[in-house]
Structure 1
């Protein structure tokens, strides 16, 4: 099983667990080199389909860039697939269950259905990059994938990304923000998302307007 990571600093993991975030954008590996390149998609053969007509090729939803000289950038391949169940990565310290007296004596911690020592958990105690996907208690299912430029995000999708609206006591003047933002309010949901994506993916991400895979998902546990 794969893992998916959301920012804890900006409370995006919690937003997923609260069903306030149901979408995520991930920058594609290859951007369009220049105007001589056109977008290209794979051509599927009969053996790329299952008996129900579903595409089972690893290049499903993939795309690349190719110019009239035959120069090709390589395939942008989505990490996740529609219907795939993915574990939401969390630090072990955030998901450990209360130990009973016997396990306290043995210095064992219950994570999922297993008891682990602090040594076995290692760096995963404080860093979710090192946790096991099969021990994570929460999972999402990918329900849709699309490809678009980052700046093409709609207001509706901003809210799916975890941006929230509030009125600051003035119901006729809505503001938009995200947790731990440098300023508490933005006048536009897209402005708030632009700041958030720069925080999460690196300064200048919004301005560079890369192509992104847009994953929509549902929390299943």
Structure 2
């Protein structure tokens, strides 16, 4: 089983576990062998189009159609069940406050794998979920759809599926939008449209100015199954 990481600083893992986040976008990075003065060089390219045809992912670059290299394929497939990565410490805290005996038994059984490393509290995954094992996670999602689109093509509805928070304000009688995990300290932390809020979020969790670059992304729809 594979695992998937969501940003904790902006509360995205919690949004997934609460069922508020059911969609995620991941950058599509393309590499292509191109002739150089001394042979072939592996370079990163920006395609003009990416599409799925005849059971294969393809892209257009310099007016030519190329097969998408296998290493650039979507990491997750439709129907695949993926573990939601959490640090071992956060899982222990969650189980401590849970009456779910099944989850507790699962964790007690699998935590032995970490203890064989040295001591599970000294395992790098204790505080860093990048190093946890997928089969030791207690929550999973199922991928329900995979597609490709430009980052800025995201709809208002999909911004909310990405975890953006919508609130209705009275007496303004207007909806405002917030980035999860961000304390509202001024008007700059409140957005008039879902896209404005999502643009701020993606620039923080991905890389600076990625919204303005408007790259292709893989869009994964998913549902919480455990």
TM-score when normalising by structure 2: 0.76
Residue 63 (1) aligns with residue 58 (2): yes
- Distance (whole Å) between structure 1 residues aligned to residue 66 and residue 74 of structure 2: 22
Residues 171 and 138 of structure 1: is their aligned pair in 2 closer, same or farther, counting only changes over 3 Å? Answer: farther
Q: What is the CA–CA distance in structure 1 between the aligned matches of 2:158 and 2:132, rounded to whole Å?
A: 30
Deviations 1:161-219 (CA, angstroms, capped at 9, x unpaired): 00011135445122101223374310111000000000100111100000011000000
The question of whether the paired residues in 2 share the 8 Å contact of 1:176 and 1:188 is answered with: yes
Establish whether residue 119 from structure 1 lines up as the match of residue 116 from structure 2.
no
RMSD between aligned residues: 2.7
Residues 20-59 of structure 1 correspond to what in structure 2 (within 5 A)? 20-30=20-30, 33=45, 39=50, 41=52, 43-44=54-55, 59=56
| Corresponding position of 1:82 | 78
TM-score, normalization by structure 1: 0.77
User: After the TM superposition, which parts of structure 1 deviate over 2 Å for at least 4 consecutive aligned residues?
Assistant: 31-35, 37-44, 62-76, 109-121, 167-171, 179-184
Runs of 5+ unmatched residues, structure 1: 45-58, 99-108
- The structure that is strand-richer by fraction is 2
**In the alignment, is residue 200 of structure 1 matched against residue 195 of structure 2?**
no
For the residue of structure 2 that corresponds to 1:95, the secondary structure is helix
Deviation digits for residues 116-150 of structure 1 (CA, Å, limit 9, x no counterpart): 33624611000000001001000000001111000
Work out whether residues 66 and 72 of structure 1, in 8 Å CA contact, stay in contact via their aligned partners in 2: no
* Distance verdict in 2 for CA 1:142–1:73, change over 3 Å: closer
Say how many residue pairs are matched. Answer: 194
Task: Check 1:142–1:169 CA distance in 2 against 1; reply closer, same or farther (3 A cut).
Answer: same
The gaps in structure 2 that reach 5 residues or longer are 32-43, 97-104
Q: Is 1:214 the counterpart of 2:209 in the alignment?
A: no
Q: Larger % of helix: which? A: 2
Write the distance in 1 (CA, Å) between the matches of 2:68 and 2:147. Answer: 20
